[in-house]
Amino acid sequence: MSLHAQTIHELHKKLKKKEITATEITEDVFKRIESVEDKLHSYVHLCRDHALEAAKAADKIIQTKKDFSPLTGIPMGLKDIFLTKGRPTTCASRILEGYIPPYSATSASKLFEHNIVLTGKLNMDEFAMGSSTETSVYGPTRNPWNLDYIPGGSSGGSATAVAAGECIAALGTDTGGSIRQPASHCGIVGLKPTYGRVSRYGVIAFASSLDQVGPIAKDVTDCALILQAIAGWDPKDSTSLNLPVPDYNKALNPTIKGLKIGIPEEYFVEGMDPEVTHAVKTAIETYKKLGAHCEPVSLPHTEYAVATYYIIAPAEASSNLSRYDGVRYGYRNQQSKDLIETYKKTRTEGFGNEVKRRIMLGTYVLSAGYYDAYYLKAQKVRTLIRKDFEKAFKTFDVLITPCSPTPAFKIGEKTSDPLQMYLSDIFTINVNLAGLPGMVLPCGLSSKGLPIGLQIIGPHFGEEKILQAGFAFEQATDWHTKRPPL
């Protein structure tokens, strides 16, 4: 098997035995990028020279130290939403054209402390606003399982790069499903931790009460290794929680006899693709064979999730994106007569249509006379959604649901209908509204050969439980070993 197709833990074992070097892995990954990147468009910025230097530095550590981090010498990509000192960070938007940050995001810095090899910055929906990676100013990313289809979003570049072997693993962000949904569509594993478990410092903000950083990898073990490295309190992030970080590797136990799994009735809705329903129900049968207790549960406020999310998220985006004015950094219109015209023209030319749509929607729901009717009411419904989950977790260890109502759809299929695009996230946004951890892993393929994902939801700071449940399923099936035909 080619080095680029292997997992972090497989490569780490070989590095420890001195069978391979970090430089060899990095060179193999960049050969893979050269062969498929023009088809996929996963990256917006490559760091080849820097990566080879980092690989050589990692090789010195590997040669001199008996024990080193499982991430040392591993080529990883970062979604273009993470600030990286001295490296372009644009959030796939024209308005951040040419921006070079003076510091790195905490989560990225933690990976650098583990001596990863940064391959580059990965494509995404502009400001993480999208479900298909079609709103990027750099153009769309394509699904490695079928180039006519979307890879999911907004972390589409991260998912395609991992699935196609253009990096071994990556970091993404998840505001309403942006790690889990592309992982589902690309046949890999994506984990959104509990809100506050991983620092958001240095991650360009979309919706501050919803955004969370997490790993995208080839299997559950790799997700656990990355989460171990990036989790923990950060004094620079006021929403980061000062709690001990458990040893996530100890959660990777295939024995789940007696595990109580809830199956939310509201997640099997009319209009769902029958192949998704079949794949998820087959996965539930696998859990029963492994000795888990699977029973239905009701989350009665699920139907209000999309409406609630698309009030709260745009409202917070409207506030966060007001800082992009063409004055201090990024793109600026040079033909303006005065400051007000500079603001208007810069923002008109710098933001894409989807970002403008959400800014306008968010500004409207926060405006005088509408705040109580929309934003305040949405926050109250959000509380009801969270309480539904809290009640369910008094009985169950984890919940299992589909990740997306359909497999990946064709590029361009939903770009003219924003509501249909928003409904792509119907099964993932509740997890963000409640601040819970959720993980997606492959559980099937459609008749068109497109991946189908299974979502596992845990209680607050229940990452160990979802890792255990995911690992058990992975060991009992072979879906995680399937690779795209590209």
224 and 358 within one domain? no
> How high is the pLDDT of residue 259?
98
Confidence of residue 486 (pLDDT cuts 50, 70, 90): confident
123 and 93 within one domain? yes
Given 346, 379, 412, which residue is the final one in a domain? 379
In a domain, 267, yes or no: no
In a domain, 274, yes or no: no
CATH code of residue 244:
3.90.1300.10
458 and 322 within one domain? no
Kindly state the helix (H) or strand (E) to which residue 381 belongs, with its residue range.
helix 377-392
Given 379, 408, 443, which residue is the final one in a domain? 379
176 and 320 within one domain? no
Read off the pLDDT of each residue in 277-288 and give the average, rounded to a whole number: 98
22 and 80 within one domain? yes
The mean pLDDT value of the chain amounts to 97
d(CA 132, CA 413) in angstroms, rounded, equals 10
Q: Is the dihedral of CA 12, 13, 17, 23 positive or negative?
A: negative
In a domain, 292, yes or no: no
Read off the pLDDT of each residue in 197-224 and give the average, rounded to a whole number: 98
Domain count, the chain: 2
In a domain, 384, yes or no: no
- pLDDT tens track for 414-429: 988 888 888 889 999 9
Which residues does residue 146 pair with via DSSP β-bridges, in sequence order? 143
165 and 254 within one domain? yes
> How high is the pLDDT of residue 424?
85
In a domain, 114, yes or no: yes
Read off the pLDDT of each residue in 171-193 and give the average, rounded to a whole number: 98
Whose tokens are 């590095």? That residue is 15
User: Nearest 5°: CA angle at 83, between 81 and 88?
Assistant: 90
Please give the residue range of the domain that contains residue 251: 3-261+394-481
404 and 331 within one domain? no
Read off the pLDDT of each residue in 9-21 and give the average, rounded to a whole number: 98
18 and 153 within one domain? yes
- pLDDT tens track for 459-475: 999 999 999 999 999 99
In a domain, 122, yes or no: yes
242 and 212 within one domain? yes
d(CA 229, CA 95) in angstroms, rounded, equals 32
d(CA 375, CA 280) in angstroms, rounded, equals 34
In a domain, 273, yes or no: no
- pLDDT tens track for 344-364: 999 999 999 999 999 999 999
In a domain, 276, yes or no: no
Q: Which residues are catalytic?
A: 79, 154, 178
What separation in angstroms does the CA of 203 have from each of 68, 170, 198, 360? 27, 15, 11, 23
- pLDDT tens track for 296-343: 999 999 999 999 999 999 999 999 999 999 898 899 999 999 999 999
224 and 92 within one domain? yes
204 and 160 within one domain? yes
421 and 362 within one domain? no
Of 302, 218, 249, the C-alpha closest to 70 is: 249
> What percentage of residues in the chain have a pLDDT greater than 70?
100
pTM tops 0.95: yes
Given 348, 379, 410, which residue is the final one in a domain? 379
